[in-house]
Structure 1
Amino acid sequence: MTLVTTKHLMEDAYANGYAIGAFGVHNLEIMKAIIAGAEKANAPVILQTTSSTYKYIGMPYMVALAKAAAAQAKVPVALHLDHGESLENVMECLRSGYTSVMIDGSSLPFEDNIALVKRVVEVSKAVNVPVEAELGTIGGVEDDLKVDEASALFTNPEMAGRFVQETGIDSFAPAFGTAHGAYKIEPELQFDLLDQIRQATNIPLVMHGASGVPDASVKKAIGLGVSKVNFSTELKDLFANEIRSFFIDNPTENDPRKYFLPARAALTELVEQKIRMLQR
């Protein structure tokens, strides 16, 4: 099948109390592991990249790989831009074949954020691509995105309601206690705040920074409207650790087909576990 958009996937998840797994893609091996894990769980999946990732891979390669994966996959596959920095960034992805985009104007003043998101929605809806946006700031580090956790701001529910209504976005990423990257201690998620945001927005919500969040907390957030859950750091950590372990045992090996395979197998298992957890 061809790449699908995230719109109907997330609307169904929102209506039926589960979430779609969105996994950071950084190379072919990770992409193949994500698809294999989704197929084992028999569930749709979102491949997502930041702009720094598709620039590293090369946009033509990135889209061609995703389209080839979707064509062979036994489950629906979407290709999503995570934390798009600008309208130009979004336009590049739309022209190239991405089927979902996020515009992140959370560092801007509120009215400027709305103006940017409205413009992105306008151009994206013209080609039937759904838009995710963020209000408040989610701390931590993801690729080139760096936000000091001490300066991260929780989302104001009243402002979130106005933001969603005025922009016309399809999904909303609130700041309620998660952070990008690795957690030093278990995050204290603000579930009461998340519930207020759900009531104020009434559209699918997105949990960023889910790597390292306990399963019970993720499931509780799903019960409060979270319909897309992002994972990246856990995948990168596992992939790197598996390759390190391989070379400890096989220090002279030089065949990528051999040292990538155990890393890919481990990621497949992790992705399947995550998706099954989101479905329960």
Structure 2
Amino acid sequence: MPLVTTAALIEDARANGRGIAAFNVITLEHAEAIVQGAQHSGLPVILQISENAVEFHHGLLAPIAAATLAIAQSADVAVAVHLDHVEDENLLRQTADAGLSSVMFDASHLDYADNVAATRAAAQWAHAAGLYLEAELGKVGGKDGAHAPGVRTDPDEARAYVEATGVDALAVAVGSSHAMTERSAALDLDLIARLRAALPVPLVLHGSSGVPDDTLAAAVRAGMVKINIGTILNVAFTGAVRCALAGDASLVDPRKYLRPARDEIAQVVARMAHVVGGPDA
């Protein structure tokens, strides 16, 4: 199936009252597993490469982007490829040349006025390059995985932010937290509904790995569209590698432990794609 744009997948999900799962790619095996899982589910997905993943690959976007795009193009379901959580403006401007259709520009670490100015400039550049731009207002919980109960996105501020920046999608803080390995986050579903009513653009949930399945499905019903999923894939991957190595002390062929790790990710992807985007979501 031809590669599709992130915009097309998000708008289709939004029009049909469903979510679209966006899974983080770190290695080639991640990309292969995500497509394998998507094909098993029969549902579209977004593959996303974060700035941290680019740094892991020696700061080079082009190689991991090319590999991810090639895997996406081999899929028999609709797949888009997205650049995620970009703070570096030089990396932002590599998005189009790398063949990606969308980028998330993250200026949430700045104060409100500076966030607006930086994000407006990023959106203007992205639109001139034919790209879809996601941004963030209100920090999602920190990378240490701690809940951030006091951090929430205000609907009125969010509406003003979208109007001032011209972004295409907005990541909002509603109770999730990055890098959680336990699925115990509680989301403010009422706030999600109010944000959906206040904003003309799709809502994005970051830190979704820490959210239980039933809550994720409820969040989609309340108005979330793009659901970012990363840590839960790494938990599955690492668990499978540990199990394989513990079971055979003589094991040295990486294919012997990367294959089960890839299969574990694929199973998680198939399930999570259904949770947020299946007919019963």
TM surpasses 0.5: yes
For residue 147 of structure 1, report the CA deviation from its aligned partner. 8.4
Q: Which amino acid aligns with 2:242?
A: R
Structure 2 distance, partners of 1:229, 1:164, is: 19
Is residue 118 of structure 1 aligned with residue 126 of structure 2? no
Q: Which amino acid aligns with 2:154?
A: N
Hey, what does 2:167 align to over in structure 1? 169
SS in 1 for 2:96: helix
Is residue 42 of structure 1 aligned with residue 42 of structure 2? yes
Against the structure 1 CA distance between its residues 185 and 270, is the aligned structure 2 distance closer, same or farther, given a 3 Å change threshold?
Answer: closer
Structure 1 distance, partners of 2:46, 2:183, is: 28
Hey, what does 1:9 align to over in structure 2? 9
Which aligned pairs between 1:133-152 and structure 2 lie closer than 5 A?
133-141=135-143, 149-150=147-148
Q: TM-score, normalised by structure 1?
A: 0.93
Structure 2 distance, partners of 1:216, 1:80, is: 26
Q: TM-score, normalised by structure 2?
A: 0.93
Structure 1 distance, partners of 2:4, 2:184, is: 34
For residue 151 of structure 1, report the CA deviation from its aligned partner. 8.2
**Number of corresponding residues:** 276
Q: Which amino acid aligns with 1:133?
A: A
The superposition leaves residues 153-194 of structure 1 with CA deviations (integer Å, 9 ceiling, x where unpaired) of 210110101111221211111101000011567222111111
Which aligned pairs between 1:1-280 and structure 2 lie closer than 5 A?
1-57=1-57, 58-141=60-143, 149-150=147-148, 153-182=151-180, 186-278=184-276, 279=278, 280=280
8 Å CA contact 1:81–1:98 kept in 2: the answer is yes
Q: Which runs of 5+ in 2 are unaligned?
A: none
SS in 1 for 2:233: helix
The superposition leaves residues 46-95 of structure 1 with CA deviations (integer Å, 9 ceiling, x where unpaired) of 11121121232232211211221122111222111211113322112233
What percentage of residue pairs aligned between the two structures are identical?
37
Q: Which amino acid aligns with 1:255?
A: D
8 Å CA contact 2:146–2:177 kept in 1: the answer is no
Q: Which runs of 5+ in 1 are unaligned?
A: none
Structure 1 distance, partners of 2:92, 2:183, is: 34
8 Å CA contact 2:137–2:153 kept in 1: the answer is yes
Q: Over aligned residue pairs, what C-alpha RMSD do you find?
A: 1.8
8 Å CA contact 1:103–1:117 kept in 2: the answer is yes
Structure 2 distance, partners of 1:56, 1:216, is: 33
8 Å CA contact 2:183–2:210 kept in 1: the answer is no
